[in-house]
Structure 1
Amino acid sequence: MYNNSKVAKAIRLAMMFGAGAAAAISAPTFAADAADEGVEEIEKIQVTGSRIKRADMETSSPIHITSAEDMKIAGFTRVEDMLNNLPQLEAASTAFQANGASGRGSLDLRGLGSNRTLVLINGRRMQPGGGSSGAADINAIPAALIKRVEVMTGGGSSVYGSDAIAGVVNFVMDDDFDGFKIDLNASGYQHNNDNAYMQDLMTQKNFDFPTGSSGIDGRTFGIDITAGSDFADGKGHAVAFATWKRTTELRQGARDYSSCALHSSGTRCNGSSTAVIPNFFIAPIDADGNYDYDQEQWVKLTPDSGFSEDRADNVYNYAPINHFMRPDEKFTFGTFLNYEINDTFNPYMELMYMRDQTKAQIAESGTFYADNITLDYDNPLISDVQRQYLTDNFGIGTGDQFGAYIGKRNVEGGPRTSIIQHDSFRIVLGTTGELSDDWTYDTSIQIGSATSADISINDMSRPNVIAAVNGDGKDCATIDGCVPYQVFTYQGVTAEQADSLTAVGQSVAFSDQFIFSAFATGEVDLTVPSADSPIALVIGVEYRKEEYQYVPDQIISLGALTGMGGPSDALEGSFSVAEIYGEVNIPLISDAPMVESLSLDLGYRYSDYDITGGDSTYKVALDWTPIEDWKIRASYNRAVRAPNIGELFAVQSIGLWSGVDNCSGSDPVYSAAQCANSGVTAAQYGNVSASPADQYNSVTGGNPDLTPEIADTYTLGLVGQITDEIDFSVDYWSIEIDEVIGSISEELTIDQCSETGNAAFCDNISRSPTGNLWQGQAGYIQATSINLASRKWEGVDINAAYNTEALGGAISVTLTSTYMMTKEYTPLPGNTEAVYDCSGQFNGNCFPQPEWRSVINANYDLEDFGFNVKLRYYGEVEYDGETDQILIDNGGKIDAQTYIDIAGRYTVSENITLRLGINNVLDKEKPLTGGSLDTGAFYDPLGRYIHAGVSLQF
């Protein structure tokens, strides 16, 4: 039993946990008890971060709440786009990725990785989305049925198990919806192409670029249908939903600032040396029959079909044809059912299905110097001018051979495309009920699966290329279907030749999850003498099994496509875990001087993995209300993350990483002695070729000897209500992870080896015979999964809310802000020289990490009209690299960025509501950087975002 003042206080304090929550949070329901006049009983509910049912929505852990109305006002049709605007989250997989796109959408709390962010639906773990990491694909969540999203930061492993190191994102679905609703949505982007700096660079290169208004592009259309009703005389309730969304493609060539591939210095347009007019590495074959790297030359094809070493400007601008935003089409449908048979048996079901298809287009394929092809001096494809060059430079003639790495872009064959389709399914069957007047239970079985199919088209086949240039002395004319590849003839390649050189690669991945869960929660007949509420408990068990299988066809598994970077081996693995857990809430003091209430939360979970063994997680949290409307909260969590299937079982294979080899080029960053540490000889120093596309080889893969990560998370916060109109909270948080599962970044490996000579770094560098790390596959960085040393993240979250009545309506203003104090990486134990902090920094190891990220949201509601203004702020980011020219025209840093969004709502009738809005009203461009640096996904990539919608509800 609780009095009205406590009800009001609980609701007020709950409201200010998150921006926008004050307008849309679902407050605890309560009903008058006829037997007790003047008191009211509040229904106990379960809050994210605990399985104990509580009589209010207060919790010792900070929780940010985003409502369904917040999402509608923002105009986003993709759930991840809305949540990635929150200061606590950093973007992971999104629709703006093309090269290497998975097609999935994921969430990344604090930037610790989507594999350290646990996603729940109605408090239950979401199934893996189809990747080997096990991360959830939130594309499968229907936006139309979301009631609210609760983001709990700080470890949650003792409550929910592995993967909750950074925290938990819980999607609370509107499973009690009643009525029929149709939401129609449309959106698109608009940008004024007037970037004089970039247009000048492209003019110098004679590159095409857009000017003026882009019009409305990158359009999305969606229909969401929701229906719900009671049945069986009110004993049961059913909600069904179906959604459809289609997004059109948008290429980088639609924006002037992305229409050229910038050089790493940011001072000129660059591109790939796998160009339209071919470039070659050529060398004679020595007496032992090997390619003679000591005599190697890098040349281009000239108009007279000769060779020239003057090839610096012969690059291909691959940027315009790449997708900026992928085309996508998605269907979802499902249902939520519950039925009350009696007080002890209330079965329920959750059913969700999604099919999503997207196409990720990147620049045309090419030969990419993938193979050292041995050619006869008398090969009919070789011109007389070229033979003379070979004789003059290498002293070879008739009957001899030479070797060639070929860099020819397949513009005649069109762009590469990955067609990606995801199908996911989730069903939960369970029951809840009362065990007694004070105890309830919840038990369920959950089955989830995801299938991901990836078809790569228009990529060049390495065997076909070798055959078509007469490799290994074979005559192309004797091979069925072979068309000679006239790559040694200036502009000699035709579409017919290109068609014969491509192949289709296919792969499919299967993820399956099974969970059995049972827990009981209630109060025991025990009360601390100084408190007025009994002790509450939860005890539970859980069993979870996850399986993953990746099946590539022969083309993919052999790495037979030139654009793949290397072989992609099959992967199959599984793990299971049996767990027992418990929580206890102990009210310690009530209604004492300076202690209106003081309670202690304890939690413990023991997890027994069939692969890595047993681990314990636990929590201690304190909730102190000294006076009404003020609260101090503190918590400590021991969290763990067990290695996922990919980290354990992925076959080691070669691929590409983006960055800089600081021992390459004619004027390397490091000295000859330093570069010698990384394998560069004295003769090679200053002659090691840098990749024009800033892409280098690395070997990545799993490690079955990994052990779980161990994290200690701390929070300390103050929650208060200054006046009836103003609420706020300030929370300090810290996350320290040991035995981090990951790999040392390739660029850091080169830099630390060069600077320190530490074998832990240098042993992972294998240079090709010419010293480079990108030509063919002879040079690479070893970057497989290991248990690294540690990471430490700490910061402060600030939330505030102001609500009042003015101008004839209601005004609310909310602030959500995060100050990132530390983002410290320690790659290896005891190696203090390798420690780096990304907070407020930007370099080859850190994408932009603003120390401050803030969102201010202002709402004005007047009867049928509502107006919203949002301000998004990202603080300044310093570049700490070797040159101040690597960032474009901004003094070696990224200035603070501010975006303004506006939106309006008009209720035409009780059945019709209209919405219209513009995000990034001022059309601010994302910051420009050199080609080797990544700006991350904080900044708006495409300009203005215009959105409109109509809701029809009956």
Structure 2
Amino acid sequence: MQAQSLSSLAGRPVLAAVRPQSALRLAIVAALGLGASIASAQEKAPSTNELEEILVTGTLIRGAAPTGSDLVTVSRDVIEATGVTTTAELLATVPQVTSFNTMPVGTSDFSQPITPPNLRGIGLGATATLVLVNGHRMVGAGVLQTIPDPSAIPTSAIERVEIIADGASATYGSDAVGGVINMILRKDFDGFETTAQYGYGDGFDTMDFNTVFGTTWGSGSMMIAYEYAGRNNLQGRERDYVTNDLTSQGGADSRSTLCYPGNVTYNNVNYTFPGLTPGLNRCDNTQYTDYLSAEHRNSVYATLRQDVTDNVEFFSEAYYSQRKSTPLNAQPGATFVIPITNPYFVAPPGGGFAPFEVVQYSFVREFGPNVENPQELTAGGLVAGVNVKLPGDWAMELLANYGIGTTETTDRSLNAAALNAAAAGTTLDTALDPFGGRTNPAVLAAIRSGGTYNDADQELREISLKFDGPLVSLPGGALRMAVGAQYHYEEIDAKTFYIQPNNRLDLVAPSYGDRSVRSAFAELNLPLVGSGNAFTGVRALTLSASTRYDDYSDFGDTTNPKFGLNWTVVDGFSLRASSGKSFHAPSLADSNVATVDSRLQILPFFPFFPPGALPGPAVVIAGGQPNLKPEKADTWSVGFDFNPAALDSLNVSATLYNIDFRDVLGIPFWTIGLFTNPALSQYYTYRPSAQQLDALLNSGIRIDGTLTPALRAAIIGGGEILDLRRRNLARQEVQGVDFNVNYSWNTSSGLFFAGLAGQRELKFDLTAAPGAAAVDQTERGRVKWRARGTFNWIGAQWSTGAFINYTGKYNNPNLLTQEVDAFVTVDAHVTYRPKATGWLEGTQVSLLADNVLDEEPPMYLSSPGFDSANSSALGRVVSINVRKSW
């Protein structure tokens, strides 16, 4: 993108992988206060004692652009043109983020209540992507994860999002293997802006209200932004393609037999409720499961900047966010034994005699079709620091960062002990009646009382000191350097309680872990050739070198370098390259010996068994474990940027990237060959002996579930033990191409802009375990193409445009014989800015339509009938947005 006037940029929705040298220009323009639209943009000169030059993501040196790495920028205009109500939704507009073209949502249990962004789709979850705000970290969120929730930041406070989809541990330390997502806040905003938005879809509506107030004065500025976002839930029964019975489309019938009406097995024959005739009832638990839960979020962010003296500037940021959601799951069912001594025992007619019957049952009649699992996440933080101007154009930054977050989740289930006791009850007051619904209400209350309550507090403390400035003047420009140190501390204090009758909480799994990291870093920017010594074939040549040393209290030390090169061959055409090392330290939730999720799960039925074996009961060992090692990666990229003088508004760029990710934390899933790969055979035991099962049960690991004598015998006779704990298991080698083309042109009727940005994955080789062979995953469920096209027109009072989102074909990872069709959606928007004075001045009205063609997800022959990781069940949502600048 070339430097352009504010009037040509205002109101333009742009998703651009911009050239590094152009990224600096874009950042400078954005920081000057680009407003909501042509009508409401406000420009305010920064204070005369401004000490801070623009710092772009990917470098620690003021006034420099990241050398060798591509910079993807999502502008303020995209936020306004798309009408996104959360930062997670905003990031889902970026093809390099794996949530692209989906509706990112967390899980309905405590495992992952937030959906952190994941660049490149590498690593376990999103642990290999670093999320920053104004260049600093946020406190983590969750019980089983320590990744921050980007939606804690109000979208109204964000000026732009900068993404370096390249290894960046040399600059930022751990977690930056796949890249960095940095949310840059609005700066020197002067005015008062209010936005209200209401959106409606099929069975779904959403509401967003936000307001921003800012003011500047001669020596400083302040801003405060508040946002409320709310939505209702969306269940499977509201979409006809959501189902567990896919036989009509050539798939399998995965409906449950834990139903109401239920099933009885008597003398090894299956009978159905209510008439106890031979057969098997099945029910579809997708119908009453939330695929988007009801949610309400309040968030606020405030900033302050003040010149203390001519050479000292104080700055601070503070934020607070509270998110409440109420996921609804289908009412759980259970398998239990009714002995003949139960007064409600009913034998199937003509079934002969047996002393007991096995019942499969869901308590829909007693408790309703749904169970609520409420979640509440709060996060807050405070950043304070000073910028000090030093002699010789050097500067010092001292920054302190503190954050604290709390996650509370309730995961309701049946009380297995109460259920088994009631099934074995011998009186009308104590026994369970699954046949006629005559169970004593007190007995039902005890059965319903099961589940867990999970509470986790996380804390972040950081202090960093950085110096940067020029070392020496060279013909190509100034050799600049940044050097500094940082102290980082984090902790997690998590607890799990069993819910007992009368809502009593029994603590079963306390967990505490902490970590400190001492770091030192340095970066050099060396302009070998510039305007003062350019020659044919080398108009400019810049090298960069950076390194970071991190000393962990629990993992030892690591040093990670990175090198970059920018080479302008001729005016308008440049090449770039980067190479470096990155790493990710296992989170405290993974590596603490007492992690809250380390457990044995007793499962009466598990669908995944070795080939030729019938599905049956299983004991699953889940969670983290001690002695994990850091994940490490070698990364490199090469690319070009083309901006010809004859077509000044044309920008073309492409980047070839490669990531070799080793010691990757993983789980030995059946989808990567648990039962067929000899290297993974140590992680499962089919038909364990009594000694093997007892040794595991007595190992001291927490047990979730009840192992009845009948279930124990079934596991020994035809069940399995699966060790699915996280471990340094795999190696991933990823290669692909990022590309971007955009062009704008002015006409007498307004400004036009067209662009195409995307990603093509070329290789994803997975080595499932040490000693295993590498297997190419590109035909095993990986999406190879993701792209987003943009076309917009901006007139004097009207503007309109569309975004086309493309997720390419891929093979179903659970059924490789099925090729899943591409998912293509179109988002459109129209904005009107009236020429008015008085109370209408500074007003604009927008009509927004996401998935305007109401495209359904492509057929997916695995439960629940669509793939939420690569498509969305939300359908068309039309929104009205009103913005007013006061």
Separation of aligned partners in 2, 1:42 and 1:512 = 31
Deviations 1:424-464 (A, max 9, x none): 1010011112122321111111111110111345x321122
Look up the SS of the partner of 1:718 in the other structure. strand
Aligned counterparts of 1:629 and 1:303: Cα–Cα separation in 2: 77
More moved, 849-858 vs 896-905: 896-905
Could you tell me which residue of structure 2 aligns to residue 948 of structure 1?
Answer: 880
Deviations 1:64-118 (CA, angstroms, capped at 9, x unpaired): 1001210221122122122113110012993374466744241111112311110
Change (3 A) 1:936 1:264: farther
Report Cα offsets for 1:397-439 as digits up to 9, x if no partner.
xxxxx58464434442021111111111010011112122321
Q: 2:511 aligns with which of 564, 571, 575?
A: 571
Equivalent position of 1:110 in the other structure: 120
Give the match for residue 42 of structure 2: none
3-state secondary structure, aligned to 1:788 = strand
Change (3 A) 1:542 1:263: farther
The one-letter code sitting in structure 1 at the alignment partner of 2:520 is I
Give the counterpart of 1:311 among 256, 267, 279. Answer: 279
Q: How far is the alpha carbon of 1:378 from its aligned partner?
A: 3.0
Give the Å deviation of 1:718. 0.3
Indicate yes or no: 2:776 matched with 1:852: no
- Whether 1:180 and 2:192 are equivalent positions in the alignment is yes
CA contact (8 A) 1:154 1:637 kept: no
CA contact (8 A) 1:279 1:408 kept: no
Q: Distance in 2 between matches of 1:121 and 1:83?
A: 14
Pair 1:344-2:344 in alignment = no
Q: Which runs of 5+ in 1 are unaligned?
A: 32-40, 191-216, 284-296, 397-401, 665-669, 676-684, 843-848, 885-891
1:731 aligns with 2:655: yes
- Measure, in 2, the Cα distance between the counterparts of 1:906 and 1:4: 26
Looking at structure 1, the residues matched to 813 and 846 of structure 2 have their Cα atoms a distance apart, in angstroms, of 44
Q: Which residue matches 1:467?
A: 421
Is residue 17 of structure 1 aligned with residue 25 of structure 2? no
Distance change (3 Å), C-alpha of 1:751 and 1:462: same
Letter in 2 for 1:632: L
Determine if contact 1:264/1:932 at 8 Å carries over to the other structure. no
Instruction: Summarize the alignment of residues 432-581 of structure 1 with structure 2, pairs less than 5 Å apart.
Output: 432-457=387-412, 459-470=413-424, 475=426, 483-487=430-434, 489=435, 498-503=444-449, 505-525=452-472, 527=474, 531-555=475-499, 569-581=509-521
Contact 1:441 1:519 in 2 (8 A): yes
CA deviations on 1:819-877 (whole Å, 9 max, x unpaired) are 01112211112311xx33332533xxxxxx32111111011011111111111112221
1:740-819 matched pairs, under 5 angstroms? 740-753=664-677, 756=678, 759-762=681-684, 779-806=720-747, 808-819=749-760
* Structure 2 Cα separation of the partners of residues 152 and 568 of structure 1: 42
Give the 3 Å change call, closer, same or farther, for CA 552–900 of structure 1 in structure 2.
Answer: same
Matched residues in 2 for 1:826 and 1:133: separation?
24
Query: Aligned pair in 2 of structure 1 residues 341, 658: CA closer, same or farther (>3 Å)?
Result: farther
State the SS of the aligned residue for 2:499: helix
- 1:380 counterpart = 2:343: yes
Partner of 1:715: 637
Decide whether aligned partners of structure 1 residues 339 and 718 sit closer, same or farther in structure 2, where only a CA change above 3 A counts.
same
Residues 24, 273 of structure 1: alpha-carbon distance in 2 compared, 3 angstrom cutoff:
farther
- Mapped to 1, the partners of 2:602 and 2:129 lie a distance apart of 26
Asked if the contact 1:904/1:915 (under 8 Å) is kept, the reply is: yes
Query: Matched residues in 2 for 1:775 and 1:248: separation?
Result: 46
Please say which of residues 743-752 and 624-633 is displaced more in the overlay: 743-752
Cα distance change, pair 907–615 in 1 and its aligned pair in 2 (3 A): same
The whole-number CA distance in structure 2 between the counterparts of 1:143 and 1:30 is 16
More displaced 10-residue stretch of structure 1: 813-822 or 103-112: 103-112
What corresponds to 2:845 in structure 1? 914
1:160 matched to 2:160? The reply is: no
Give, as a single letter, the amino acid of the residue that structure 2 aligns with 1:944: R
Aligned counterpart, 2:620: 698
Shift in Å, 1:44: 3.7
> How far does residue 808 in structure 1 lie from its aligned partner after superposition?
1.6
The aligned amino acid for 2:383 is: V
Name the stretch that deviates more: 258-267 or 68-77.
258-267
Asked if residue 87 in structure 1 is aligned to residue 95 in structure 2, the reply is: yes
Distance 1:555 1:908, change over 3 A: same
Q: Which of 838, 841, 860 is the equivalent residue of 2:780?
A: 841
* From 599, 602, 608, the counterpart of 1:653: 599
SS at match of 1:908: coil
Alignment correspondent of 1:146: 158
Q: 2:61–2:469: 8 Å Cα contact kept in structure 1?
A: yes
Partner Cα separation in structure 2 for residue 165 and residue 883 of structure 1: 29
Cα contact 1:698–1:746 (8 A) shared by 2:
no
| Contact map agreement 1:182 1:953 (CA 8 A) in 2 | yes
Q: Which amino acid aligns with 1:797?
A: D
Match of 1:905 in 2: 831
Which residue type is aligned with residue 893 of structure 1? E
Q: Which residue of 2 aligns with 1:635?
A: 578
CA distance in structure 1 between the partners assigned to 2:525 and 2:212 by the alignment: 38
Using the TM superposition, give the Cα deviation of residue 701 of structure 1 relative to its aligned residue in structure 2, in angstroms: 1.6
CA displacement at 1:16 relative to structure 2: 5.0
Aligned to 1:286: none
- Post-superposition offset of 1:279: 2.8
Cα distance in 1 for residues equivalent to 2:51 and 2:459: 39
- Pair 1:121–1:894, CA change in 2 (3 A): same
Deviations 1:875-921 (CA, angstroms, capped at 9, x unpaired): 2213476674xxxxxxx311223222211111124410111121222
What's the offset of the Cα at 1:332?
1.1
Q: Distance in 2 between matches of 1:927 and 1:658?
A: 33
Aligned 1:253-264 pairs, distance under 5 A? 253-258=237-242, 261-262=245-246
Equivalent in the alignment of 1:359: 326
* Structure-2 residue corresponding to 1:210: none
- Is the alpha carbon distance of 1:897 and 1:747 closer, same or farther for their aligned partners in structure 2, counting shifts above 3 Å? closer
Please point out which of 255, 258, 262 is paired with 1:271.
255
Of 121, 145, 148, 1:136 maps to 148
Cα deviation 1:380-413 (Å, max 9, x = unaligned): 2223558x8463xx5x6xxxxx584644344420
- Distance in 1 (CA, whole Å) between partners of 2:104 and 2:552 is 32
| Counterpart contact for 2:665–2:729, Cα < 8 Å | yes
Which among 294, 314, 319 is matched to residue 327 of structure 1? 294
SS at structure 2 position matched to 1:88: coil
Q: Mark the CA change 1:778 to 1:265 in structure 2 (over 3 Å): closer, same or farther.
A: farther
Q: Distance in 2 between matches of 1:777 and 1:340?
A: 73
**1:248 corresponding residue in structure 2:** 232
Is the Cα contact below 8 Å between 1:105 and 1:137 reproduced in 2? yes
In the superposition, relative to structure 1, how do residues 59 and 949 fare at CA in structure 2: closer, same or farther (>3 Å)?
farther
Confirm whether residue 46 of structure 1 aligns to residue 41 of structure 2: no
Distance 1:249 1:777, change over 3 A: farther
For the residue of structure 2 that corresponds to 1:352, the secondary structure is strand
* Aligned equivalent of 1:236: 220
TM-score, scaled relative to structure 1: 0.79
Calculate the TM-score normalised by the size of structure 2. Answer: 0.85
For structure 2, the residue ranges without an aligned partner over 5 or more in a row are 33-49, 694-709, 836-840
Mapped to 2, the partners of 1:752 and 1:728 lie a distance apart of 45
What is the DSSP-based 3-state SS (H/G/I as helix, E as strand, rest coil) of the residue aligned with 2:872? coil
Identify the residue that residue 40 of structure 2 maps to in structure 1. Answer: none
Backbone CA RMSD of aligned residues: 3.7
Distance 1:340 1:628, change over 3 A: same
1:68 aligns with 2:76: yes
Aligned to 2:696: none
User: Paired residue for 1:889?
Assistant: none
* CA 1:311–1:571: 2 relative to 1, 3 Å: farther
- Residue-by-residue CA offset, 1:682-728 (whole Å, 9 max, x unaligned): xxx5xx2469xxxx763212121111111011110001113212111
Task: Indicate conservation of the 8 Å contact 1:733/1:794, yes or no.
Answer: yes
Change (3 A) 1:550 1:347: same
Q: Secondary structure at the match of 1:148?
A: strand
Task: Please give the secondary structure, in 1, of the residue aligned with 2:68.
Answer: coil
Q: Which residue type is aligned with residue 529 of structure 2?
A: I
Question: For residues 248 and 748 of structure 2, what CA distance do their matches in structure 1 show?
Answer: 53
SS of match in other structure, 2:539: strand
